Amino acid sequence: MFLPHGTNVFLAEAIKKAVDTPVACIGGGLVGCETAVHLADAGREVIVMEIAKDWAVDAPRFHKDALRKALRGRVEILTVTNVKEISHEGPRPVVRAEGADGREMVIAADSVFVATGLRPGETLVDEFRRAAPVVFVIGDASTPGQVTQAVEQAHYAAADI
């Protein structure tokens, strides 16, 4: 797997309205698609690349229906697309990917954002464990997920106190 690097390559969590267009989004899950809608609303041209056969598979059904309407005609989504690398040819990032048919694609973009998932930050959790006799690890500190999952975990942790 590649790591984001270079100018104009961002993690989805750090995306700003000031990104240059066109924008390549690596990862077509819920975070990638919501970020693509945000960028399209800001007038950016966006292409989303997802390795799976479908996009936003982690979205609740009704949420995906709303995303479909918001994306339609404004954002191009390529599924079964395996990103191999992000490089720079001159000042612009270039995304090299393999399409469903096995052919290589080269997508030049002014900005690239990466929404391929997160891992919990163990260091901060360990600091809290040393600070209190009982620590409940919930939300993204436990397993990156959605707000509703974190709220449910918080509810059960509070009930256990």
Per-residue pLDDT of the chain (161 residues; tens, 9 = 90+): 454 555 677 666 666 545 778 999 999 999 899 999 999 998 999 999 999 999 999 888 999 999 999 999 999 999 999 999 988 877 788 899 999 899 999 998 888 888 887 777 677 778 888 888 888 888 878 877 777 888 888 898 889 88
Cα–Cα distance measured from residue 82 to residue 28, given in angstroms and rounded to the nearest whole number: 11
User: Distance from CA of residue 90 to its chain's centroid?
Assistant: 25
Q: CA neighbours within 13 Å on the CB side: how many for 36?
A: 32
pTM: 0.74
Please provide the CATH number assigned to the domain covering 9-114: 3.50.50.60
Other C-beta atoms closer than 10 Å to the C-beta of 161 total 6
Where are the domain boundaries for CATH 3.50.50.60 in the chain? 9-114
Helix (H, G, I), strand (E, B) or coil at 144: coil
99 Cβ contact partners less than 8 Å away, ≥ 6 residues apart: 78, 80, 81, 105
